[in-house]
Structure 1
């Protein structure tokens, strides 16, 4: 078995966890791969093979993301491309997609013995068509967000499903999310949590100028389109999984649909997502106030 360790060394103590993960996996006769950009950092202090990052993705059997949910999001595209499952070790705060907390890192032995389950997560396809009919294509594991820029007081959005207008609204922005992304920005904007293994598209409004705005859930046969009208020279930002990728002008159209691609998330200890919801979102206020 070959495991590619994909770390975020900006996270506290992440170097320590990379060294420990390498040690645990190597003792299980698992070959550890690391991007050669970390060769000067770890060198021969760990038992690992250093390769170009693309080669690590293509040659490994599994990707071990050491960081937070952002680390998993960052490598999800390549995992989808190469058909590799991801297991996350959380060094961040919430870590909804991570199967293991850093205190559970010893459970990595179950990765080699096959004591885990796979959760198949859908991706969103995002196609931006500009006023010159040029197309830009992206995929998202969490969400696609269209939001007003600084200086723009408010924006008008028009959202359609399969060619029929379903919402004309004035708001700070709109979110299209997967079930995986339902526990991220969409939840903060008032959307529901969805079991991440489901297949559906969630549409949530950000600070809508309405008393009756509600999240909508669509089946995966839906083709959703969004237009934005800000007036003047103002544009809106388009972000995919938290990365700003496009400045949207009037006349541009964004099309959202279920992608043909998917990502598999490894769950080592079972029901990690629901444990995260209970522990990290449903703490009593007295616990939050004393958590430091």
Structure 2
């Protein structure tokens, strides 16, 4: 879902402070933010790394990213897709739009490379951008005696643990038994996550605005174990049916818990969203062409 933008006055900057290019990128971004008359705010972790190095004064420093996102009109994230995922987890549900600026490798969530930020800030100043809303999913499970839960922007994964054997996972959708997958694991992906792990596992590319979830088996044992696209309002339950092979439950590659035979996880729409900035000329399809090096044929 795309929405028109609101007026921008205060801009927040955060990112992966461990990346070698973070300080240089933050200095470039802060200088351009100041030049165009915006107020600059950061989170405490970024301020600690940038202390004494920024070419401009800060308007405010906030204790964490969520507080920063609530204060500003636009949040700039410096890093790669991993950084964007971490920020999405921390600010999910806050309406502040996010612009990802890539200072890493290939990324689908980061909208622009740092070299294009001087153009991006002009679009922002003229309010020439749209907001692209992305939903997150929620997983809830009982692992041993502990109840665990987590949200994910890309995917929830249930993958075999230490033993190199297939796992058997029973799938129920809206309380109806669907199938039993025999594979290395199963991914439940959002449209945003369809270009991440799911894509590598052979899943379909899904446009971000689609209200669906993708179930993609990882290295399935038989050809009949196929990926599925289901309504995003469906409630999915995955039960570990394998004996003597544990599974690892993860949300956006962050381990949530270890599942054993008989354990189940419920996955559903989290009713939380983030909003990504889409600049002129930067569509989902143009991003696919650029990131996946699609060139077509001249036959």
Using the size of structure 1 for normalisation, the TM-score is 0.90
Separation in structure 2 between the aligned mates of residue 32 and residue 3 of structure 1, nearest angstrom = 5
Q: Is 1:184 equivalent to 2:196 in the alignment?
A: yes
Assess if the C-alpha contact under 8 Å between 1:3 and 1:61 holds in 2: yes
> Paired residue for 1:266, among 269, 274, 277?
277
1:248 matched to which residue of 2? 259
Query: Which residue is equivalent to 2:140?
Result: 127
Secondary structure, aligned partner of 1:282: coil
Aligned to 2:4: none
How far apart, in 2, do the equivalents of 1:6 and 1:117 lie?
Answer: 21
Cα pair distance change 1:220/1:37, threshold 3 Å = closer
Name the residue aligned to 1:289: none
Correspondence 1:45 to 2:53: yes
- Aligned residues of 1:156 and 1:170 also touching (Cα < 8 A): yes
Structure 2 equivalent of residue 33 of structure 1: 41
Which shifted more, 80-89 or 157-166?
Answer: 80-89
Q: Distance in 2 between matches of 1:269 and 1:193?
A: 22
> What is the CA RMSD across the aligned residues, in angstroms?
1.9
Shift of 1:98: 1.5
In 1, Cα distance between the equivalents of 2:70 and 2:210?
Answer: 27
Corresponding residue SS for 2:158? strand
Alignment of 1:43-122 (within 5 A): 43-46=51-54, 47=56, 48=58, 49-53=60-64, 54-106=66-118, 107-122=120-135
Q: 1:136 Cα deviation (Å)? A: 2.2
**SS at 1:45 equivalent:** coil
Q: For residues 180-222 of structure 1, what are the alpha-carbon distances to aligned partners after superposition, in whole Å with 9 as ceiling and x for unaligned?
A: 0000000110001000122101000000100222210001231
Is the counterpart of residue 173 in structure 1 residue 181 in structure 2? no
Structure 2 residue 26 is matched with structure 1 residue 18: yes
Contact 2:235 2:268 in 1 (8 A): yes
CA-CA distance at 1:240 after TM superposition: 0.5
> What secondary structure is seen at the aligned counterpart in 2 of 1:50?
strand
CA contact (8 A) 2:239 2:264 kept: yes
Number of aligned residues: 283
Deviation sequence 1:116-152 (CA, Å, 0-9, x none): 11111111121113465x5322211100000001224
Match of 2:11 in 1: 3
Looking at structure 2, the residues matched to 187 and 156 of structure 1 have their Cα atoms a distance apart, in angstroms, of 22
Distance 1:145 1:202, change over 3 A: same
CA contact (8 A) 2:159 2:184 kept: yes
Asked whether the equivalents of residues 131 and 251 of structure 1 are also in contact (C-alpha less than 8 Å), the reply is no
CA distance in 2, matches of 1:239, 1:64: 27
CA contact (8 A) 1:4 1:63 kept: yes
- 2:274 and 2:293 map into 1 onto residues whose CA distance is 27
Q: Which has the higher helix share?
A: 1
Q: 1:44 to 1:11 in 2, by over 3 A?
A: closer
- Counterpart position of 1:278: 289
| Corresponding residue to 2:246 among 220, 230, 235 | 235
SS in 1 for 2:51: helix
TM-aligned CA distance change 1:168 to 1:59, over 3 Å: same
- Is this contact kept in 1: 2:14–2:46, CA < 8 A? no
Alpha-carbon distance, 1:79 to partner: 2.4
Distance of aligned partners of 1:122 and 1:55 in 2 relative to their CA distance in 1, 3 Å threshold: closer
User: 1:283 deviation in Å?
Assistant: 4.7
- Specify every segment of 5 or more residues in structure 1 that has no aligned partner in the other structure, as ranges: 285-292
1:5, CA displacement in angstroms? 0.8
Aligned to 2:14, the other structure's residue is in SS state: strand
Unaligned runs of 5+ in 2: 1-8
TM-score, structure 2 normalization: 0.88
